[in-house]
């Protein structure tokens, strides 16, 4: 019996080809009957393939059973697999539930239409996936390709071009000395944000924090990447245009495009008008970024470029020579991606942190006491102080644990070869692989009271454990791990730490009674608070 099952799961559609023999040649002569028979046969083949494949329709022909151990997973529904379950609610929570109910937390196979996918909710297997060289590519959806991201760091295939981009970015944008050189800009953006919060409090009696955080994040990244900042203290048409373009790009990258996953759908089927909207957006992006590049070209034409540590990233890209020299289109793609990645994650993570600090006033007071003890209530908090504030670091880590900005690590990986895992499972080439970081950080066998916001768990002086969140320990790796780990992790961490510290030093934060805090989530490109945080910020007299 085992043998029969084995062979039928190896190719469950073989029997369709025997149909003419069963039906006989006379029947074959009757065309209408033939069409009906073939239709029934195809439907039956699809149903049989679906019924026999663990993981659903994209896992037919024994794809889930290439190793000694089969990859378990839900069948979903014929042709569509688990698309509809994933479309309802929050994908990271749905996948966590499915992984548990299918006893597949190590690795679960599932189908997004005709796309075969696996997800791991367990640190050991997650580490193997993220660090395996044959998992270093990413699946490229249509919108990402049309928005030029195939030539940017995040989606470029892991070859020479991608390695070169990573090297340039690590040396010139994310190196510690560069991050330090841009501190004055970071402080300036933060001070502007604090003044903006004060004005909004004075005029409306409450503050919607997200606008302020997104403005600061945009200026922060514009400053270090383009050497340009917008004046956000008043209405600024240019900044509004850029924000609107970023929003449209987010919407397009996040949009579900049916023909990405249902190979039998005609390419024209595009209910979200992804193609048309990308075609409208790309020339606008190209124009905006090219103008900034041209502004950078002008003053230095004819001179050799001298790059100080606080030169911006456009200067760096323009200074590249020889094999490293990028075409204008590639430069636009790389710079555009930085705006994208740098603006949403830091702002949204800070918003979650502030929501938790308002809901946990004792944590807020304890953090303020630490800040006052290190810099005094009126001192200027600098990047260097963060290392002396273990409780601040614990608050940021706990926020990353409870609300990881990329609960499925943002952008998935793609296997470029059959990959043997140490648990006996084999992930076939061409499989989309995800790590459910949210499931790992909410797993009660790894974390005590995982749903409780408790920074003490990371504070060594309170018996907690100091975990490196930058990819070394998969129990908490919100920046991913391996060769495609987030290159902006240090910049992201220092920015969020500085903002949270300065927000707490400057104001006492409380809830707005008429507009209570709601921790419901929505997963767009990053995990956002569904209802933006409204808060009551009382300026501390001493600051």
Residues that bind ligand HEM (CB under 6 A): 130, 153-154, 166, 221, 337-338, 341-342, 345-346, 349, 405-406, 409-411, 478-482, 484-488, 491-492, 496
Q: Which is nearer to ligand HEM, 252 or 476 (CB)?
A: 476
The C-alpha atoms of residue 233 and residue 491 are separated, in whole angstroms, by 24
Q: Which is nearer to ligand HEM, 127 or 366 (CB)?
A: 127
Q: Which is nearer to ligand HEM, 49 or 169 (CB)?
A: 169
Q: How far is the CB of 252 from ligand HEM (least distance, A)?
A: 18
The C-alpha atoms of residue 109 and residue 95 are separated, in whole angstroms, by 10
Q: How far is the CB of 147 from ligand HEM (least distance, A)?
A: 14
Q: Which is nearer to ligand HEM, 61 or 134 (CB)?
A: 134
Strands (E), 304-358: none
List the one residue out of 404, 393, 395 whose CA is nearest residue 475.
Answer: 404
Burial (CB < 10 A; 0-12, 13-18, 19+), residue 542, is exposed
Q: Which is nearer to ligand HEM, 65 or 127 (CB)?
A: 127
Q: Which is nearer to ligand HEM, 50 or 453 (CB)?
A: 453
Residue 202 half-sphere exposure toward CB, CA atoms < 13 A: 7
- The number of helices, as runs of H, and strands, as runs of E, in the chain is 22, 11
Taking a C-beta distance cutoff of 8 angstroms, is the pair 143, 257 a contact?
A: yes
Q: How far is the CB of 316 from ligand HEM (least distance, A)?
A: 14
Q: What is the separation of C-alpha 72 from the centre of its chain, rounded to a whole number of angstroms?
A: 26
Q: How far is the CB of 19 from ligand HEM (least distance, A)?
A: 45
Taking a C-beta distance cutoff of 8 angstroms, is the pair 56, 82 a contact?
A: yes
- Binding site annotation covers 486? yes
Q: How far is the CB of 234 from ligand HEM (least distance, A)?
A: 26
The C-alpha atoms of residue 400 and residue 398 are separated, in whole angstroms, by 5
Q: Which is nearer to ligand HEM, 411 or 447 (CB)?
A: 411
The C-alpha atoms of residue 111 and residue 468 are separated, in whole angstroms, by 33
To which residue do tokens 């304890």 refer? 366
Q: How far is the CB of 435 from ligand HEM (least distance, A)?
A: 8
Taking a C-beta distance cutoff of 8 angstroms, is the pair 487, 174 a contact?
A: yes
User: Whole-angstrom distance between the N-terminal and C-terminal Cα of the chain?
Assistant: 77
Residue 521, SS3?
Answer: strand
The C-alpha atoms of residue 441 and residue 295 are separated, in whole angstroms, by 45
Which residue's Cβ has the minimum distance to ligand HEM? 480
Q: Which is nearer to ligand HEM, 79 or 190 (CB)?
A: 190
List the one residue out of 344, 314, 388 whose CA is nearest residue 488.
Answer: 344
Q: Give the tokens for residue 298.
A: 């002008």
CA triplet 72, 76, 80: central angle to 5 degrees?
125
Q: How far is the CB of 330 from ligand HEM (least distance, A)?
A: 14
Q: How far is the CB of 36 from ligand HEM (least distance, A)?
A: 48
Binding site per annotation, positions for heme = 486
Residues placed in the known binding site: 486
């Amino acid at each position: 019996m085992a043998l029969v099952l084995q062979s039928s799961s190896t190719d469950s559609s073989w029997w369709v080809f025997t149909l003419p023999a069963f039906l006989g040649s006379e029947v074959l002569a009757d065309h209408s009957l033939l069409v009906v028979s073939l239709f029934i046969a195809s439907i039956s083949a699809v149903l049989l393939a679906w019924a026999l494949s663990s993981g659903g329709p994209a896992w037919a022909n024994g794809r889930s059973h290439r190793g000694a151990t089969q990859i378990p997973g839900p069948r979903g529904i014929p042709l569509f697999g688990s698309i509809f379950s994933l479309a309802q609610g929050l994908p990271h929570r749905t996948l966590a539930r499915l992984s548990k109910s299918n006893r597949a937390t190590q690795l679960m196979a599932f189908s997004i239409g005709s796309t075969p996918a696996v997800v791991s909710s367990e640190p050991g297997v997650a580490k193997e996936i993220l660090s395996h060289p044959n998992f270093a590519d990413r699946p490229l959806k249509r919108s990402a390709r049309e928005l030029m991201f195939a030539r940017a760091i995040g989606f470029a295939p892991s070859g020479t071009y991608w390695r070169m981009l990573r090297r340039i970015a690590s040396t010139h944008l994310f190196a510690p000395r560069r991050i330090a050189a841009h501190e004055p800009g970071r402080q300036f953006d933060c001070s502007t944000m604090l003044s903006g919060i004060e004005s909004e409090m004075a005029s409306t009696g409450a503050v919607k924090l997200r606008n302020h955080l997104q403005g600061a994040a945009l200026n922060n990244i514009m400053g270090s990447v383009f050497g340009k900042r917008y004046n956000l203290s008043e209405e600024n048409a240019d900044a509004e245009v850029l924000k609107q373009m970023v929003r449209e790009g987010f919407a397009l990258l996040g949009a579900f495009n049916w023909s990405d996953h249902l190979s039998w759908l005609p390419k024209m089927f595009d209910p979200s008008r992804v193609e048309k909207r990308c075609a409208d957006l790309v020339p606008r992006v190209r124009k905006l970024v090219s103008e900034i590049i041209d502004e950078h070209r002008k003053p230095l034409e004819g001179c050799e470029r001298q790059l100080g540590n606080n030169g911006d990233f456009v200067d760096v890209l323009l200074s590249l020579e020889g094999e490293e020299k990028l075409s204008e289109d590639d430069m636009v793609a790389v710079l555009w991606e930085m705006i994208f990645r740098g603006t949403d994650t830091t702002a949204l993570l800070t918003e979650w942190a502030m929501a938790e600090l308002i809901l946990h006033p004792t944590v807020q007071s304890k953090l303020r006491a630490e800040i006052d003890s290190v810099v005094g209530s009126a001192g200027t908090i600098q990047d260097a102080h963060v290392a002396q504030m273990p409780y601040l670091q614990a608050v940021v880590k706990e926020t990353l644990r409870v609300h990881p900005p990329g609960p499925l690590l943002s952008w998935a990986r793609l296997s470029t070869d059959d990959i043997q895992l140490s648990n006996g499972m084999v992930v076939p080439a061409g499989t989309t692989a995800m790590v459910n970081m949210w499931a790992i950080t909410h797993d009660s066998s790894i974390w005590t009271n995982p749903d409780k916001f408790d920074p003490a768990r990371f504070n060594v002086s309170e018996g907690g454990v100091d975990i490196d969140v930058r990819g070394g320990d998969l129990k908490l790796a919100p920046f991913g791990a391996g060769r495609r780990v987030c290159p902006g992790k240090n910049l992201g961490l220092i920015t969020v730490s500085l903002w949270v510290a300065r927000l707490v030093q400057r104001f006492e934060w409380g809830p707005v009674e008429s507009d209570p805090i709601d921790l419901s989530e929505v997963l767009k490109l990053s995990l956002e608070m569904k209802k933006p945080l409204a808060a009551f910020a009382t300026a501390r007299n001493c600051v």
